[in-house]
Amino acid sequence: MRYRTLILASSGLAMIFSLAACGDEHARTLPAERPSGTATVRPSNSPADDLTIQVKASAQAPATTYRLTCDPAGGDHPKAADACAALAKAKDPFAPVPKDRMCTDIYGGPEVATVKGTWQGRPVDTTFKRNDGCQLHRWSEIAPVFGAVPKVR
């Protein structure tokens, strides 16, 4: 009789614990409330989009560096308006290629570009290459941002 009670009690506890573990797999969390007085303040003359772009003809080549601001278009980028238009047109211009994406083996060249700064209030720190079809598409989508790519010496 004792063993039967022990078996029933342990299986009952197991069921209670498993039910307690059930719930929504996607936890809903509310963003933490920001304490008063800690709002981010940006000077009115400071552009919301401020990027530093470095473009190299190859990984070992010297870099050409541009500063690009958008809204309004500016900086020392030679075609700032075109670059800002390309960024605005792209859905998520700085998103990396998903790790599970299959890419064609199309080599677009040795060029490399890095982009750092702020775009639409979000920090940006990413690298663009042209070593496969996915990376080439990513580069081509916002090509005006990279300006005239320096030639390999």
Q: pLDDT at position 11, please?
A: 52
Residue 112, both tokens: 């490399």
Q: How far apart are CA 108 and CA 121, in angstroms?
A: 31
C-beta separation of 124 from 49 below 8 A: no
Q: How far apart are CA 51 and CA 75, in angstroms?
A: 9
Peptide bond preceding 98 in cis form (omega within 30 of 0):
no
Residue 92, both tokens: 């998520």
Q: pLDDT at position 64, please?
A: 92
Q: pLDDT at position 145, please?
A: 96
Which of 141, 130, 138 is CA-nearest to residue 105? 130
- The dihedral formed by the CA atoms of 93, 137, 84 and 65, expressed in degrees to the nearest 10: 100
In what helix (H) or strand (E) does residue 79 lie, and over which residues does it extend? none
Q: How far apart are CA 149 and CA 2, in angstroms?
A: 82
Q: pLDDT at position 111, please?
A: 94
Q: Digits of tens for pLDDT over the chain (153 positions)?
A: 554 554 544 554 444 444 344 443 333 333 444 344 444 444 445 557 899 999 999 989 999 999 999 989 999 999 999 999 999 999 999 999 999 999 999 999 999 999 999 999 899 999 999 999 999 999 999 999 998 876 665
Q: pLDDT at position 71, please?
A: 86
C-alpha dist (Å) from residue 136 to 52, 57, 105: 20, 14, 10
Residue 153, both tokens: 């010496």
